[in-house]
């Protein structure tokens, strides 16, 4: 486990891309439907209870939220997509903001796509996968809430999603994850280390 993630600090919440921190260094963005457990996953990975805001009401992440790992590396919590009970015009604003970030952010070096293991590969998920293909960005998928299924069923879902993604032309990795049972943390850290180009000696 890489302890550097535990020192993550909130930088700012940006309603628009021009309000984001300077576009430099490396950023890994977390995307997912608004009830997929994205904020819980981020908090678990950095071992902080309230770094990313967790809400009982899905869709509360309406801004681009930036967290510094160190001077050159950031995590970004993208707006949750799906269930939020907001006017259509606001949803369009969110989508526009996300597209703007995904297309124009030079620091972006990878996407972690969070899916509820009970409802994987939604229409939104495929949009993100296709976007990563188009942009040639590496993609890592967390099948969250894996504690909700028995291990055999969870493993079967993992294999099915893997099969469904076999035709995708970009590098895609995936894993089981549970914020509740702390399953899969080391696996995610390993992916983040690779994308952030942390050397093993620096970690130790």
Q: Are 129 and 111 in contact (CB under 8 A)?
A: no
pLDDT of residue 186: 95
> 57 Cβ partners below 8 Å, 6+ apart?
84
pLDDT of residue 204: 46
pLDDT of residue 2: 75
Give Cα separations from 28 to 124, 148, 194, 203 (angstroms).
Answer: 19, 27, 11, 18
> 135 Cβ partners below 8 Å, 6+ apart?
102, 103
pLDDT of residue 50: 79
> 142 Cβ partners below 8 Å, 6+ apart?
41, 112, 113, 114, 115, 174, 175, 177, 184, 188
> pLDDT tens digits, the chain, 204 residues: what are they?
678 999 999 999 888 899 999 999 999 999 998 889 998 999 999 999 878 875 555 545 578 899 999 999 999 999 887 655 677 787 777 778 888 898 899 999 999 999 999 999 998 899 899 989 988 899 999 999 999 999 999 999 999 999 999 989 988 999 999 999 999 999 999 999 999 999 754 544
> Going from the N-terminus, what domains does the chain have, and what CATH number goes with each?
3-203 (3.40.50.300)
pLDDT of residue 201: 45
């Amino acid at each position: 486990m890489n302890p550097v993630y535990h020192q993550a600090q909130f930088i700012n919440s940006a309603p628009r891309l021009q309000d984001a921190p300077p576009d430099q260094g490396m950023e890994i963005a977390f995307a997912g439907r608004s009830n997929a457990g994205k904020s819980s996953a981020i908090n678990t990975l950095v071992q902080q209870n309230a770094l990313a805001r967790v809400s009982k009401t899905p869709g509360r992440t309406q801004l681009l939220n930036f967290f510094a790992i160190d001077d050159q590396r950031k995590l970004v919590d993208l707006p949750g997509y799906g269930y939020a009970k907001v006017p259509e015009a606001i949803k369009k604003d969110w989508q526009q903001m996300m597209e703007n970030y995904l297309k124009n952010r030079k620091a972006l070096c990878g996407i972690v796509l969070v899916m509820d293991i009970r409802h994987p590969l939604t229409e939104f998920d495929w949009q993100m996968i296709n976007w990563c293909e188009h942009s040639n960005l590496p993609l890592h998928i967390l099948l969250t809430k894996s504690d909700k299924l028995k291990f055999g069923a969870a493993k079967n879902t993992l294999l099915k999603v893997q099969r469904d993604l076999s035709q995708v032309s970009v590098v895609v990795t995936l894993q089981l994850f549970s914020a509740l049972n702390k399953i899969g943390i080391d696996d995610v850290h390993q992916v983040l280390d690779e994308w952030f180009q942390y050397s093993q000696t620096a970690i130790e």
